[in-house]
Amino acid sequence: MSAYYFPIKHLHVTAVVLSILLFALRAYWAVVGSEHLKNRVVRILPHVIDTILLVCGVILAAMVGPEQPWILTKIVLLIVYIGVGTIAIKRGRTPRSRLIAALVAVAVFAYIVGVALTKSPASWFVW
């Protein structure tokens, strides 16, 4: 393992925690129709955090070998999470649809975390 592995992994995990916390807050604001979503920091900060998360993830994947099935699973689920997340925060037409999308997005996110921890596409179902 490279000497940079653990610092990059730590930064990646920190970005994961910040990303889901900020997503949950923004999703809540989207469901209740809060004006906070229009705040410049609220619009920009998630992109900064998610860029850090993604860059660290790509570096880590390169270090462990991107051909791992669990890494491909995380990539596919990330695409699903992004799609459902946009419905939760921007594209959902009603508060109910935004709420349902937010709950699905959080479930997908939890599954991704399980894949990362178990190093298995089966995620939490391995244990």
Q: How many domains does the chain have?
A: 1
| Percent helix, strand and coil across the chain, each to the nearest 5 | 85, 0, 15
Measure the CA–CA gap between 90 and 34, rounded to whole angstroms. Answer: 12
Q: Print burial letters for 54-74: b (CB count within 10 Å at least 16), e (below 16).
A: eebbebbbeeeeeeeebbebb
pLDDT confidence of residue 126: 82
pLDDT tens, position by position, 53-110? 999 999 999 999 878 999 999 999 999 999 999 999 999 999 999 999 999 999 999 9
The mean per-residue pLDDT over the stretch 25-33 comes to: 97
Measure the CA–CA gap between 104 and 84, rounded to whole angstroms. Answer: 7
> Taking the model in full, what pTM does it have?
0.91
Q: How confident is the model at residue 127 (pLDDT cuts 50, 70, 90)?
A: low
Domain with 46, as residue range(s), is 5-126
The mean per-residue pLDDT over the stretch 37-43 comes to: 96
pLDDT tens, position by position, 105-117? 999 999 999 999 9
Whether the predicted pLDDT of 33 surpasses 80: yes
C-alpha dihedral over 95, 42, 21, 16, to 10 degrees?
A: 120
